[in-house]
Amino acid sequence: MEQSLFISQQEIEQVNKLNTININVGVLGHIDSGKTSLVKTLSKITSTASLDKNPQSQERGITLDLGFSAFYTRNPNEQGKYFQFTLVDCPGHASLIKTIIGGAQIIDMMFLVIDVTKGIQTQTAECLVIGEILADKLIVVLNKIDLATEEVINKQKKIISNVLSKTKFGNQVSLVPVSAVQAIGIEDLLGILLHNITIPNRQAQLNKGLLFMIDHCFQIKGQGTVTTGTIIQGSMKPNDEVFFPMLNLNKKIKSLQMFKKPVQIGEPGDRIAALFTNLDAKEIERGIVCQPGIVSLLENIVIDFKKISYYKGQLKSQNKFHITSGHLTVMGQLKLIIRPKNLQLEINSEGEYLEDYEDYIKLQEKYNLYGVLQLEKPLIASMNSLVIGSKLDTDLEANICRIAFYGNILFSYTAQQIFQQNFLRVFRKKTKNGKVEKVIDNYTLLIKDLFKKETNIANYIGKLIVIKQGNIQGKIDSAFGKSGKVKVFVESGTNQDMGNSDVVMIYKKYLFHK
């Protein structure tokens, strides 16, 4: 008889932080696809948060919050070494997409659970979008095969494979038929999981300042307050002093655990429970614990902007979206800007305002696209944090993708900074039309109808002028009297044929972020 890939309870006792690599696996899918049943079948160690305490959740057997649990396997490549798979059970209900996005940002790979009797549903598609943004490896779990015929299973395999072929995962995705409630196909799933593992390289994140994403917080009478979460970067040890930015409070760590086992250090990717004293659990639901200075309260942010291909709604400057980073979501207004690909967007540079994403499609070969997000409430995040923009107020009955865009934070600014002359300057390209009144000499034209007589011409000295006849360029040299007429210098020379020619002035109008 073939040996199980699960390890015995006795062998689990030998597992420790030194001989084990932790892999965070997101479990996502449409509501009632059987995610939680799959997690229960796989899990050998259940964390404090894995069994949702919400009465509705218990009554219906669905997940209304993030759940965490773990199981272990031997590392087939190293004797005496193990894998700990931390399962992040994300809720499937449409109204809880914020929770799903927050939970998915801590995963290394993903199970997309699909009810084989129903196929791809609305939230299945949204979970696939999240997977494309956040996961490098995807395994599709075709659940409830005990309720489907072989013909139905094969049909769904073809449909799902066709959908996946159009994503970044292409044809590299394994589709594994299982029945979670009857534990059919679970060993096959584990085998494919082990075959698809890529060991996360966490060394670069270890050398950074601590960033610990909290997803649950609760009180233990007589001991203190426990915060559970995942370390994104840096490390934490008992007696370390850490910062709660949402409370503006420094606290010392009393002790650490990983799935009920005491540990002396938590590192990137680890699922950690940290115990604190004199901390009110009611003040913390989700958020961040960090080294001071790692995160900031960000009023406005600039991101490298990437559109979600499945999003069919409007994507225009001035539109408002729900902006999520980690477990935090705030409202924000979008401004789209572009900059030539050979020029990096920086704090003291400038970008051209774009009205509509559709305008970018014909420019994308030469320009990069950025999003300027003016936030209604400050967002607690660090530079380079992932940001996801969604339309969460969309009708839940509408069969559409609500996730619109994503990107990483490049830099932030305050409302006061935007008025500084050397700060990010956003402009619109504008044009004014006029006519050549006469040719003054071999290099000078007199132009009329560009300006009103009260216009301050000094603001336009040096602006580009295009003489439409011959498509010749010139620059405004000076005002001519007080009538609004101007002299234009033409370096390539003038000719009498230019008389009465139409001209156009092209200039930049700079905008403030109000």
CATH of the domain at 504: 2.40.10.190
Residue 2, domain member (yes or no): no
Tokens of 140: 């599709």
pLDDT at 99: 63
Residue 210, domain member (yes or no): yes
Q: Is 255 exposed, middle or buried (0-12, 13-18, 19+ CB in 10 A)?
A: middle
What CATH number is given to the structural domain containing 27? 3.40.50.300
- Interval 338-378: pLDDT, tens: 999 999 888 888 899 999 999 999 999 999 999 999 999 99
Identify whether residues 226 and 348 lie together within a single domain.
no
Identify whether residues 154 and 29 lie together within a single domain.
yes
Q: What phi, psi does 327 have (nearest 5°)?
A: -95, 5
Does position 64 have pLDDT exceeding 50, yes or no?
no
Identify whether residues 342 and 489 lie together within a single domain.
no
Q: Which of 31-45, 177-191, 269-283 has the lowest mean pLDDT?
A: 31-45
Identify whether residues 322 and 455 lie together within a single domain.
no
Which of 103, 97, 180, 91 has its CA nearest to residue 135? 103
Residue 462, domain member (yes or no): yes
Identify whether residues 233 and 251 lie together within a single domain.
yes
Q: How many residues does this entry show for the chain? A: 514
Identify whether residues 79 and 153 lie together within a single domain.
yes
Q: Higher model confidence: residue 60 or residue 125?
A: 125
Which whole number is the average pLDDT over 269-279?
Answer: 91
**Amino acid occupying residue 59:** E
Does position 25 have pLDDT exceeding 50, yes or no?
yes
What distance in Å separates the CA atoms of residue 40 and residue 180, rounded to the nearest whole number? 8
* Tally of domains within the chain: 4
Residue 173, domain member (yes or no): yes
pLDDT at 418: 64
Residue 1, domain member (yes or no): no
Which of 413, 308, 261, 305 has its CA nearest to residue 97? 308
Identify whether residues 186 and 254 lie together within a single domain.
no
- Host H or E run for residue 274: strand 271-276
Q: Is 473 exposed, middle or buried (0-12, 13-18, 19+ CB in 10 A)?
A: middle
Q: Of 260, 290, 320, which residue sits at a domain end?
A: 290
Residue 19, domain member (yes or no): yes
Domain ranges, residue 483: 428-510
pLDDT at 56: 34
Identify whether residues 306 and 399 lie together within a single domain.
yes
Identify whether residues 283 and 336 lie together within a single domain.
no
Residue 467, domain member (yes or no): yes
Q: Of 166, 200, 234, which residue sits at a domain end?
A: 200
- Interval 114-167: pLDDT, tens: 999 999 987 888 888 888 888 888 999 999 999 999 999 999 999 999 999 999
pLDDT at 53: 41
What CATH number is given to the structural domain containing 402? 2.40.30.10
pLDDT at 202: 84
Q: Of 290, 325, 352, which residue sits at a domain end?
A: 290
Residue 55, domain member (yes or no): yes
Which pLDDT band, with edges at 50, 70 and 90, does 98 fall under?
Answer: low
Does position 304 have pLDDT exceeding 90, yes or no?
yes
Identify whether residues 419 and 473 lie together within a single domain.
no
What distance in Å separates the CA atoms of residue 396 and residue 393, rounded to the nearest whole number? 8
Tell me, what DSSP letter sits at residue 95?
G
pLDDT at 87: 87
Identify whether residues 444 and 497 lie together within a single domain.
yes
Does position 62 have pLDDT exceeding 60, yes or no?
no
Identify whether residues 193 and 260 lie together within a single domain.
no
